[in-house]
Amino acid sequence: MEQYQLEARNIVKQFPGTLALDRVSVAFDSGNIHAVVGKNGSGKSTLMKIFSGVYKKTSGDIYLYGKKIENNSAIQAFENGICTVYQELSLVNDLMVGENIFLGRLPLKGKNRIDWPQVHERAGMVLSELGVRIDTRMYVKHLPLGQKQLVEIAKAMSFNPRVLILDEPTSALSDAECEKLFAVVKSLREKGIIILFITHRLQELYRIADYVTVLRDGVLVGTEHISNLELKDIVNMMFGDVEHKTKPASFVQNEKVLEVRNFTSKKFNHISFALNKGEVLGIAGTMGAGRTELLRSIFGIDKSDFGELVIKGQAVKRKDINPYNMKKLGLAYTSENRKEDGLCLNLTVGDNLCMASLHDISPNNKIDRGLERQYIDRQIEGLSIKVPGIDAALYSLSGGNQQKIVIGNWLNTKPDIIFLDEPSRGIDVNSKQQIFNIIWEEAKRGISFVLVSSELEELIEVCDRVIIMRHGEFKCEFNASDLTVEAIYSKCMEEN
């Protein structure tokens, strides 16, 4: 098979006050899957956005199949055969799956009528090639996050791309869904498509990548075949030497702060567990196990059908289980989808750090600016949040700093219990370690955590105890001394 290349030559991208890319020259050939990695701010996303026409390069050249091309817009990039699947989904929630896949290119019957049978037939074929079963007539807003990601990938594949850029495509997928995606990507490799795969989940590089390209601080560090790299080598290329901490001595106290008894809904069945003061309790399971739905129901976002809840020895009546009362009782909840459910991206850093504590800083229904500033400064300093200023728009921050703000917003409510749903999704290794350190420090002060994560290594590093959920039920639990990736994974994947 003849090999083709996507090549960057001496690419420079200058933003006001920031040199994002400094004379980056790198080539990606067909017949291989190229992972592109780097910490937040490394320049990898900037380079991908230049390839996909979102950003215009300051200088340098791009070559595809040996021909110099200009990608001055996303449309021009599409015309050149470059398609990108972004971590932030671009789907329209109020349209059907089929409409989203062919949005802007809907087949017509005659001059002005959409050929709906053709839309759904073609959309179904694209999904079928991905090994995905989703009703093309279903509205996207009714799909879980993982299936939305698969529709986004199907949309890109419908363009028959010559270059496919996947930006964190697995961040919302279960292991089974990841394997489906990996199988599709590997088949595309054999068809001569140039594949660039961006991820923060370094462990999955060994399941999908042929080559790893690393950028750091806008400079190309190097490209190596995956067989020549251990995980520590990749981390060192990304950060230099990084100190990785393991969980310090347990801070668990013999005092129950939360008891969940026989909680039941359509998504989970007869869930019971207790949480002690200072404990970090992990919940593992594949997508669809009911982990997120359980946390949302305990916090009162979604309704449960049956069960009892006791918080710090106080029984909570079922009619009183709602977010307002849960916050008053000392609970905090951070969503798996911070950009839609946890943050207001167009508001300032300061605004986002005080959203959950507005009542506390607003005596007589008027914000006390002095008190507000104390709340803001406390979290910026305490969590080491890197911001250009408290009035900066939140969307300008890295994913790691945005996640710290989600946590800081809830820490300002002075909670006793914090639910963290996928707190490290879409952030780099260094930011993850900082989040872990925050959890440990707060646990040391007596705050209890329930942590849902799809990354098993993360649960092992952070938690005192891990409960396995499967098909909406609790199956077993592991204490810290018994935690291994193999043991947790096998229990998550068992059929019965």
CB 405 within 8 A of CB 346: no
What does the pLDDT read at residue 3? 63
- Mean pLDDT, to the nearest integer, of 275-287? 90
Of 447 and 133, the one with more pLDDT: 447
What does the pLDDT read at residue 257? 96
The letter for the amino acid at 346 is N
Mean pLDDT computed over every residue of the chain = 87
CB 212 within 8 A of CB 406: no
Of 65 and 428, the one with more pLDDT: 65
What does the pLDDT read at residue 496? 53
What does the pLDDT read at residue 227? 95
Other CB atoms within a 10 A radius of the CB of residue 328 amount to 11
The letter for the amino acid at 176 is A
What does the pLDDT read at residue 495? 53
> Which pLDDT tens digit goes with each residue over 446-483?
999 999 988 777 888 899 999 999 888 888 888 877 87
CB 423 within 8 A of CB 408: no
> Which pLDDT tens digit goes with each residue over 50-67?
999 989 999 999 999 989
With tokens 């002075």, the residue in question is: 414
**Token representation of residue 455:** 């990354």
CA distance 298 to 323: 9
Element (H, E) at 212: strand 211-216
What does the pLDDT read at residue 215? 94
> Which pLDDT tens digit goes with each residue over 66-78?
899 998 898 899 8
> Which pLDDT tens digit goes with each residue over 7-59?
999 999 988 767 889 999 999 999 899 999 987 678 898 899 999 998 999 99
User: Range(s) for CATH 3.40.50.300 in the chain?
Assistant: 5-239, 256-493
The letter for the amino acid at 305 is D
> Which pLDDT tens digit goes with each residue over 108-131?
987 789 999 999 999 999 988 877
CATH no., domain 5-239: 3.40.50.300
Q: Which class in CATH covers the domain with range 256-493?
A: alpha beta
**Token representation of residue 29:** 């050939």
What does the pLDDT read at residue 261? 94
Please, what's the b/e burial string for 367-393 (b: 16 or more CB within 10 A of its CB; e: otherwise)?
eeeeebeebbeebbeebebebeebeee
> Which pLDDT tens digit goes with each residue over 216-228?
989 999 999 999 9
CA angle 146, 191, 43 (to 5 degrees): 60
> Which pLDDT tens digit goes with each residue over 89-113?
789 999 999 999 999 889 898 778 9
> Which pLDDT tens digit goes with each residue over 175-207?
777 887 888 788 888 888 899 999 877 778 999
> Which pLDDT tens digit goes with each residue over 144-181?
777 888 888 889 888 888 999 998 887 667 677 788 78
* CA-to-CA dists, residue 200 to 33, 118, 133, 234, 427, angstroms: 16, 38, 27, 11, 6
The letter for the amino acid at 402 is Q
Query: In terms of Cα–Cα distance, which of 449, 439, 442, 444 is closest to 403?
Result: 439
Sorting pLDDT into bands at 50, 70 and 90, what band is 208?
A: very high
CB 288 within 8 A of CB 493: no
Say whether pLDDT at 356 is over 70: yes
Burial of 290 (0-12, 13-18, 19+ CB in 10 A): buried
Alpha helix stretches (DSSP H) within 243-321: 291-299
SS3 content of the chain, % helix, strand, coil (to 5): 35, 25, 35
Say whether pLDDT at 299 is over 80: yes
Of 396 and 209, the one with more pLDDT: 209
CA distance 27 to 422: 34
CB 455 within 8 A of CB 282: no
What does the pLDDT read at residue 241? 62
What does the pLDDT read at residue 316? 94
Sorting pLDDT into bands at 50, 70 and 90, what band is 85?
A: confident
pTM for the full model? Answer: 0.60
